[in-house]
Amino acid sequence: MKEGVWEDVWIPSACSICYNQCGILVHRVNGVVVKIEGNPESPLGLGRLCPKGLSGIMMLYDPHRLNVPLKRTNPEKGIGVDPGWVEISWDEALEIITGKLKKVREEDPRKLIMTGCIPSMWPLTFAMATFMPAFGSSNVFFSDGHQCGNAEHLLAGTLHGALTTNPDLEHCDYLIMFGCHCGTAAYYAFTTMAQRMADARARGMKLVVVDPMMNAAGEKADEWLPIRPGTDGALALAMLNVLLNETGIYDREYLREHTNGPYLIGPDGHYVRSGENGKPLVWDESRGAAGTCEEVESHQNAIEGAYTVGGVECRPAFQLLKDHVQNYTPEWAEKITTIPAQVTRRIAREFGEAASVGSTITIDGVQLPSRPASLVYFKGSHGHNHAWLTSLAIELLCEVVGASNVPGGLMGASPVCYGHPETELPRWVPKAGPDGLLTPGIWIGATEPGYSVKPYPAVEPQAPQSYNLMDLLPTALSSHLAVLTMPRGEEFKIPYKPEVLLNYGANSLMSIGNPETTADALRELFVISFNLWLDETTDFADIVLPDTSYLERLDPSPNLHIHHFPVGMGDWGWQIRQPVVEPIGQRRHFCEVLMDLSERLGMLDAHHALINHYYGLQGEHTLKPDEKYSWEEIGDHIYKYYFGPGHGLDWFKKNGVIKWPKNVKEAFWKPFIEARVPIYFEWMKEFGEKVDSIVKENALPWPEEGDFQALPDWKPCAALESEDEEYDMQAVYYRVAWHSFSMTYQNPWLAEISEKMDPYSYFISVNTTTAKEKGIESGDQIWVESKDAGKVRGLAVLVEGIHPQVVGIANNGGHWSPNLPIAKGKGVFFEALMPLDLKKTDPVTITMDCDARVKIYKDASGEKWQDTAWSST
């Protein structure tokens, strides 16, 4: 007899297929998930989802998912080497793990290393910010090397008080997008930003896209500027020169009041300071004398000119910037970027004019500066050596016209929050740090430093203690480098050897760079891996544990408080991620297992203390040291602390998201927060000198590039430095809206898009003219061979919308694991083209250089390309 309907419900939760964690409603009928839609109540997505979010059902029910813990029986580890898995019980698995971890914790807890995947951002951060410090190790690294925005994060932190940035599309009239897909295929708050981007474009906002390849962003651009990869900084410098020295378009009032533009800089490159209190001096135009910011009215600060103070010749920082960019003409830039000088000049002027310096707008009764010109930049532009200098050059375009955290400009994501009206929590506000410069009020979900230090004031560099080298370079806000350093501890003078790797679902072999290098790092470690599937990296695991997917688990703060939120006006919101079905098989939530491990290791008290610290839990809401809490009880503590006794876990399970309106002073905080931002990074030079001296003292193999500069320059990335004519092209990767990182390749709905519909993403895009010169036609099997790493094979697609010197490949393709049958043999393994090499790393922010110098040629072997889709030599 046919079953009737005994259940028909919609459950609010949060997605986790990329880092954006959008609000979802899950439709469950008779215990089965039948649909995932956007939650109209959530500020993240406003009821609309990207194809990835819609396709989560297939991830939940993928029959290839892991359901039981496994133990390795084959001691030999290698790519494609069968680990000889045998099924074990959870108890046995945890016994083995506890034994290993106990030993390591007694010897030196830093021998435990951790990594994880970015889409599961909240559990990853929970582990890195609470479990790892409780254990005693700060050895964490990110396995999204070529995707992470280190350089952007440093600028977002120092200029915007936030982890990330986004343009205020509701008021912007002119947007320049440098190497990213804001509102068109990816990027922060994508689902909401896509709606705002379409609204803005329909309203008449001009979109200029600077990108070597015409992808989703270029498609929507009013003007597409195909730039040579790695040269966006040169374009930005030339534009700065046009603004500052050719057209004179800059916001004097903003620079005087809100930046360190008026700070006087001496011949040594440092601030000229008051003899009395050590504060930086500015020049008072009315008195014709120097004074501190407290002594001189902002509107009388000189930002231009040359002065002598106490016998020292000095110039305001802004004057230095103005002089510094003078040689960077559009004609100079043309030779580097391949963008005609006249175009650079016109775009700079259009941008400057659109900024409407001096104009105001009234929002909710509050008069604010209006600067409807913005930019947005990410990996395409800064994913190269010299990422710091490039990002700084780009950011300064907005700073000089005052289009920073005011309507229409470039905004930090959620740096100011005065909290829910009932509790005034969560609450964070940036403030003036040393020398009056902005320091963020929150950093990676913590109001107090957790596993990561705040970007300003910079922490003193020290000789490496962690394999991520982030103590040598505290300016790096994340790092992938452990895969490079782990086998080379002695070279880096790290006083212990790593022993155990805790992997939370990262497929490091496929998501960083040359897989052989990563394999070398993993081979010697005891690897504990929490996974959804047996992927390529689990070939190196000793114990594999079946993880829950985002539809099977409870995460009380999916958005790390309120990170990656849409900027500008709108609602604040705090979501829940809750299980919409019971975990299938023996799958267990990573965080619950961590709590279990803490108890077994006898460190529950420390772990609870770290949870209290990370969440800022106070009073009755704190977790007691030795009491045992269920995961649900911990969630309840967090919710009630932030939103009061009426908004505990049960309330969130029912309602999904608590939201309240942003006020104008939160959204557009710049005029209301008394903290200046640096247009001249005075501290950077000294910081770099300290790094250099540590490098020299310890004879560390860290490249001395001299990039610790107060002002930006353009320097060629490794691919552009090469003069090898044989390798005549640059390979770059690009993102599409229907894949996030490597795991989405296993989703058959998403795979079908790339296989049957999209003409590009599983192919190697080559400019038609270039390809024909090389005798390559669409559909031909070709090799792309990297000068410095391996080579990859795939089918060519000839396109007009790509720079003639560039090969374009979508990220994270080319899986080979037989345990991922949907993903296997599809797409091209771009990452194998990238050497993991210090020379391919930004020396300030540990940003990975993501383009490769390559040659392409037809493959006449007659083999199926998937048989050998890549080779490391």
Partner 1 sequence: MARYGMVIDLKRCIGCYGCQIACKAENFTPPGITWALVLKNEQGSFPAVRRLSLPMLCMHCAEPACEKVCPSGATVKEEDGTVTVDYETCIGCRYCMVACPYGSRYFNDRELNYYGDQRTPYEEVGADPPEGWESKPRRARCTGRVEKCDLCSHRREQELEPACVANCMAKARYFGDLDDPYSEVSRLVREKGGFQLNPELGTDPSVYYLPV
* Residues 181-240 interacting with partner 1 (rule: CB under 8 A): 183-185, 190-191, 194-195, 197-199, 201-202, 214, 216, 218-220, 224, 226
Tokens of 69: 């813990």
Q: In whole angstroms, what is the distance from residue 129 CA to residue 125 CA?
A: 6
Show the binding pattern over residues 126-165: x = contacts partner 1 (CB under 8 A), - = does not. Answer: ----------------------------------------
155: nearest Cα among 683, 706, 681: 681
* In the complex, minimum distance from the CB of residue 364 to partner 1, in angstroms, rounded to a whole number: 24
474: nearest Cα among 2, 844, 772, 78: 844
* In the complex, minimum distance from the CB of residue 482 to partner 1, in angstroms, rounded to a whole number: 34
Q: In whole angstroms, what is the distance from residue 703 CA to residue 696 CA?
A: 11
Residue 853: beta bridge partners?
A: 730
* In the complex, minimum distance from the CB of residue 736 to partner 1, in angstroms, rounded to a whole number: 8
Which residues, 392 to 411, sit near partner 1 by CB under 8 A?
none
* In the complex, minimum distance from the CB of residue 755 to partner 1, in angstroms, rounded to a whole number: 10
Asked if 651 contacts 430 with a C-beta cutoff of 8 angstroms, the reply is no
The smaller minimum CB distance to partner 1, of residues 284 and 334, is found at 334
Choosing from 54, 483, 638, 658, the residue that interacts with partner 1 (CB under 8 A) is 54
* In the complex, minimum distance from the CB of residue 63 to partner 1, in angstroms, rounded to a whole number: 4
> How many C-beta atoms surround the C-beta of residue 516 within 10 A?
18
Residue 410: beta bridge partners?
A: 167, 404
Which residues, 609 to 668, sit near partner 1 by CB under 8 A?
none
Applying CB under 8 A, the span of 47-55, 88-96, 110-118, 320-328 interacting with partner 1 comes to: 47-55
Which residues, 442 to 471, sit near partner 1 by CB under 8 A?
none
The smaller minimum CB distance to partner 1, of residues 503 and 767, is found at 767
466: nearest Cα among 847, 696, 837, 138: 138
* In the complex, minimum distance from the CB of residue 69 to partner 1, in angstroms, rounded to a whole number: 22
Which residues, 768 to 787, sit near partner 1 by CB under 8 A?
768-769
The smaller minimum CB distance to partner 1, of residues 142 and 760, is found at 760
The smaller minimum CB distance to partner 1, of residues 183 and 464, is found at 183
Asked if 825 contacts 788 with a C-beta cutoff of 8 angstroms, the reply is no
* In the complex, minimum distance from the CB of residue 777 to partner 1, in angstroms, rounded to a whole number: 16
Choosing from 15, 17, 50, 470, the residue that interacts with partner 1 (CB under 8 A) is 50
The smaller minimum CB distance to partner 1, of residues 327 and 769, is found at 769
Which residues, 794 to 813, sit near partner 1 by CB under 8 A?
799-804
* In the complex, minimum distance from the CB of residue 218 to partner 1, in angstroms, rounded to a whole number: 7
Give the three-state DSSP class for 527.
strand
Torsion of CA 548, 552, 558, 564, to 10 degrees: 80
Q: In whole angstroms, what is the distance from residue 735 CA to residue 641 CA?
A: 39
Asked if 124 contacts 113 with a C-beta cutoff of 8 angstroms, the reply is no
Which residues, 58 to 77, sit near partner 1 by CB under 8 A?
58, 61-64
* In the complex, minimum distance from the CB of residue 42 to partner 1, in angstroms, rounded to a whole number: 13
The smaller minimum CB distance to partner 1, of residues 29 and 289, is found at 29
Which residues, 25 to 44, sit near partner 1 by CB under 8 A?
29-30, 32-38
The smaller minimum CB distance to partner 1, of residues 2 and 106, is found at 2
The smaller minimum CB distance to partner 1, of residues 553 and 803, is found at 803
Q: In whole angstroms, what is the distance from residue 216 CA to residue 201 CA?
A: 14
Burial class (CB in 10 A: 0-12, 13-18, 19+), 632: middle
Applying CB under 8 A, the span of 56-64, 357-365, 435-443, 721-729 interacting with partner 1 comes to: 56-64
Binding-site size, partner 1 (CB under 8 A) = 71
> How many C-beta atoms surround the C-beta of residue 623 within 10 A?
22
Rounded (5°) CA angle 439-442-443: 90
Residue 234: what are its φ and ψ, rounded to 5°?
-65, -40
* In the complex, minimum distance from the CB of residue 567 to partner 1, in angstroms, rounded to a whole number: 17
Q: In whole angstroms, what is the distance from residue 573 CA to residue 41 CA?
A: 9
Asked if 108 contacts 138 with a C-beta cutoff of 8 angstroms, the reply is no
Choosing from 55, 138, 548, 559, the residue that interacts with partner 1 (CB under 8 A) is 55
Tokens of 8: 């028909």
Asked if 367 contacts 359 with a C-beta cutoff of 8 angstroms, the reply is no
- What is the C-alpha R_g of the chain? 26
Which residues, 712 to 771, sit near partner 1 by CB under 8 A?
737-738, 748-750, 752-753, 756-760, 767-769
Burial class (CB in 10 A: 0-12, 13-18, 19+), 444: buried
The smaller minimum CB distance to partner 1, of residues 609 and 795, is found at 795
The smaller minimum CB distance to partner 1, of residues 150 and 767, is found at 767
* In the complex, minimum distance from the CB of residue 196 to partner 1, in angstroms, rounded to a whole number: 10
Residues 6+ apart with CB under 8 A from 487: 520, 521, 524
Asked if 174 contacts 205 with a C-beta cutoff of 8 angstroms, the reply is yes
Q: Where are the beta strands (DSSP E) in 484-561?
A: 500-504, 526-531, 543-546
The smaller minimum CB distance to partner 1, of residues 155 and 802, is found at 802
* In the complex, minimum distance from the CB of residue 574 to partner 1, in angstroms, rounded to a whole number: 22
The smaller minimum CB distance to partner 1, of residues 65 and 256, is found at 65
Which residues, 3 to 22, sit near partner 1 by CB under 8 A?
3-6, 8
Which residues, 807 to 846, sit near partner 1 by CB under 8 A?
821-822
Q: Report the Cα 237 to chain-centroid distance in Å.
A: 24
The smaller minimum CB distance to partner 1, of residues 530 and 760, is found at 760
* In the complex, minimum distance from the CB of residue 480 to partner 1, in angstroms, rounded to a whole number: 28
* In the complex, minimum distance from the CB of residue 569 to partner 1, in angstroms, rounded to a whole number: 18
Rounded (5°) CA angle 202-208-212: 130
Asked if 48 contacts 195 with a C-beta cutoff of 8 angstroms, the reply is yes
The smaller minimum CB distance to partner 1, of residues 552 and 592, is found at 552
Residue 685: what are its φ and ψ, rounded to 5°?
-65, -50
